[in-house]
Amino acid sequence: MRTCIKAVFTGCLALVAMTGVAAEPNLNDLLSRPADKTSRIAVSPLMDATRAGSRLVVVGEAGRIGYSDDNGTTWSQAEVPVSITLTAVTFPTPEKGWAVGHDGVILNTTDSGATWKMQLDGSAINEMMHKQISTLVEEAKARLSAASEDNREELEIELEDLEYFLSDAEMGVREGPTRPFMDVWFADDKLGLAIGSFGIIFRTVDGGENWESILGKMDNPDGFHYYAITHSGDSLYIVGEMGMLFRSDDLGASWTRLDSPYEGSFFGIVGHSAGDFVLTYGLGGNTFRSEDGGVSWSRVDKPKGSALSAASVRADGTVVLIGYNGQVMHSDVGGHKFSPLAGRFPGSVAVLELDNGEYLVVGVRGLTLARLGI
């Protein structure tokens, strides 16, 4: 599973998050220039990995997408229309997949990742969000105008928050597409969500032909960053900056903000497929788990280490967890307690269990096929 700590440690997304200014030069060229070809995709900085049926797919810097049909022994490079860094990838079916990245880019493939096309970019997103927030501001002003004195204070706060978002949206239109998506998830080949910095969250119900901002459905008045999304049982979960935790029980149509056990950033979240537990991790190595849909959380017992960067729930209900310093840990069933494993993979940002017992570990140094000794 991917995690947004990759953004912090590779530097590019960290710069965007702090300044709101694009980290890559000649932005318009990068949005229209196809990714350069390389024979060294396996040693290029990579941000995420997933399966497309039996095929493996990785995404990373400069729009590079690689795919392998022999469990990662050899890799081919996909045809990609942009040179923007890509941060996350998912395939709800063996043929159809989506990748997201810097500057509001959403890409789609229908041939298992061999070729990709643009569905959305940051310029379109800026216009959509400006229009949406302008409407919300006008609606809030109308409610405030008709409100009684008893209700005015709460509505005034709501309007103030919306006007902040509107000012931010106007700046986005002026500056252009500078805000990255951090993660993407699809239930099937129609319904999906893409999340990112400054509270951007988009949903589609038609395979990406149309994307809708659902900013107004989230309790995130400060526009904090969303870092990761996962599915567990019948629920979706989103984690982010300042300890944000959200759950949806209707495939992202509505969201509940959960009480958080931690005020620092959560960079990633993974969940048991049957919904038995979810586990979230982040800054300073802080790790928590929940067995009741995020109503309550308990701290996970594990070795001390650096910020955590990658996790994967195995079929047996145990969890593999990797720190950005390369430390690898393995848990008991349910993720209550972790023990260290041999081997180190510094700079890792995603880990994927393969069918042959190996693991595909990707990060700033490229990819590694490893047997973790579990």
238-272, pLDDT tens digit by residue? 999 999 999 999 999 999 999 999 999 999 999 99
Q: Sheet of 106-109: strands edge to edge?
A: 86-90, 97-101, 106-109, 117-120
User: How crowded is the C-beta side of 210, counted as CA atoms within 13 Å?
Assistant: 4
Same domain, residue pair 229 and 92: yes
Residue 28: predicted pLDDT? 54
> What was the pLDDT predicted at 23?
41
**Are 303 and 287 spatial neighbours (Cβ–Cβ below 8 Å)?**
no
Question: In the predicted model, what is the mean pLDDT of residues 46-63?
Answer: 97
Q: Which residue in 341, 235, 331 sits closest to 278, CA to CA?
A: 235
- The pLDDT of residue 168 is 74
User: Mean per-residue pLDDT for 284-312?
Assistant: 92
What percent of the chain stands above pLDDT 70? 92
Same domain, 30 and 171: no
φ, ψ for residue 148, nearest 5 deg: -80, 165
User: Residues 31-49: what's their mean pLDDT?
Assistant: 92
In this prediction, residue 347 has a pLDDT band, given cuts at 50, 70 and 90, of very high
Tokens 């609606």 belong to 139
* pLDDT, mean of residues 41-56: 96
pLDDT at 12: 37
pLDDT band at 20 (very low <50, low <70, confident <90, very high): very low
Q: What proportion of the chain, given as a percentage, has pLDDT over 90? A: 66
Same domain for 142 and 117: no
Do residues 148 and 164 both lie within one domain?
yes
186 plus 311 within the same structural domain: yes
If asked whether residues 23 and 162 sit together in one domain, one would say no
Partners of 192 in beta bridges: 186, 204
* Same-domain pairing of 360 and 275: yes
Cα separations (Å) of 29 from 34, 35, 219, 254? 9, 11, 36, 37
Average pLDDT score over residue span 83-96: 97
pLDDT at 80 over 80: yes
- Print the domain residue range for 171: 126-175
Q: How far is CA 314 from CA 67, 79, 107, 135, 141, in A?
A: 22, 32, 28, 45, 50
Place of tokens 């129609």: 190
- DSSP code per residue over 169-187: HHHHHHH-S---EEEEEES
What confidence score (pLDDT) does residue 22 get?
38
Instruction: Kindly indicate the confidence band of residue 21, based on its pLDDT and cuts at 50, 70 and 90.
Output: very low
- Using the predicted structure, report yes or no on whether residue 7 has a pLDDT greater than 70: no
Pick the range with the lowest mean pLDDT from 109-113, 162-166, 172-176, 303-307.
172-176
Indicate the average pLDDT of the chain: 89
Q: Tokens 């103030």 label which residue?
A: 160
Evaluate if residue 10 carries a pLDDT over 50.
Answer: no
> What's 87's domain CATH number?
2.130.10.10
For 203-232, what is the mean pLDDT?
A: 94
CA distance 78 to 189: 20
- The reply to whether 344 and 262 lie within a common domain is yes
> Which of the two residues, 169 and 180, has the higher pLDDT score?
180
pLDDT of residue 150: 80
The continuous run of DSSP H or E covering 110 comes out as none
Using the 3D structure, point to which of 160, 175, 190 is the last residue of a domain: 175
Q: For 103-129, how does the pLDDT look when each residue is reduced to its tens digit (9 = 90+)?
A: 999 999 999 999 999 999 988 888 887
Domains of the chain: total: 2
Burial of residue 43, with CB atoms counted within 10 A of its CB: 0-12 exposed, 13-18 middle, 19 or more buried: exposed
When pLDDT is cut at 50, 70 and 90, the band that residue 17 belongs to is: very low
Structure tokens at 192: 């999906």
Residues with Cβ < 8 Å from 68, sequence gap 6 or more?
55, 56, 74, 75, 76
Mean pLDDT, to the nearest integer, of 10-37?
55
Who wins on pLDDT, 88 or 142?
Answer: 88
Give the whole-angstrom CA distance, residue 77 versus residue 66: 4
Nearest to 83 by CA among 65, 56, 57: 65
The pair of structure tokens assigned to 96 is 């159809």
Higher pLDDT, 92 or 164: 92
Q: Are 225 and 199 in contact (CB under 8 A)?
A: yes
From 141, 175, 209, give the residue that closes a domain.
Answer: 175
Q: With beta carbons less than 8 A apart as the criterion, state whether 183 and 194 touch.
A: yes
Task: Tally Cβ neighbours within 10 Å of residue 319.
Answer: 27
Rounded to whole angstroms, how far apart are CA atoms 344 and 237?
29
Lowest-confidence segment of 21-30, 69-78, 162-171, 347-356 by average pLDDT:
21-30
Q: Could you tell me which residues come within 8 angstroms of residue 371 by beta carbon, excluding any fewer than 6 positions away?
A: 357, 358, 359
Packed helices 149-175 and 122-146: angle between N→C axes, nearest 10 degrees: 160
Same domain, 154 and 167: yes
Q: What is the spatial distance between Cα 374 and Cα 169, in angstroms, rounded to a whole number?
A: 48
Last residue of a domain, one of 175, 194, 210: 175
Pull the structure tokens for residue 299: 């701290």
Amino acid at 242: M
Residue with tokens 């570990």: 361
pLDDT at 2: 47
Whether 64 and 53 share a structural domain:
yes
The first and second tokens of residue 292, run together, are 């009741």
Same domain, 259 and 134: no
One domain, residues 263 and 135: no
Query: Around Cβ 291, how many Cβ atoms within 10 Å?
Result: 17
Of 198 and 185, the one with more pLDDT: 185
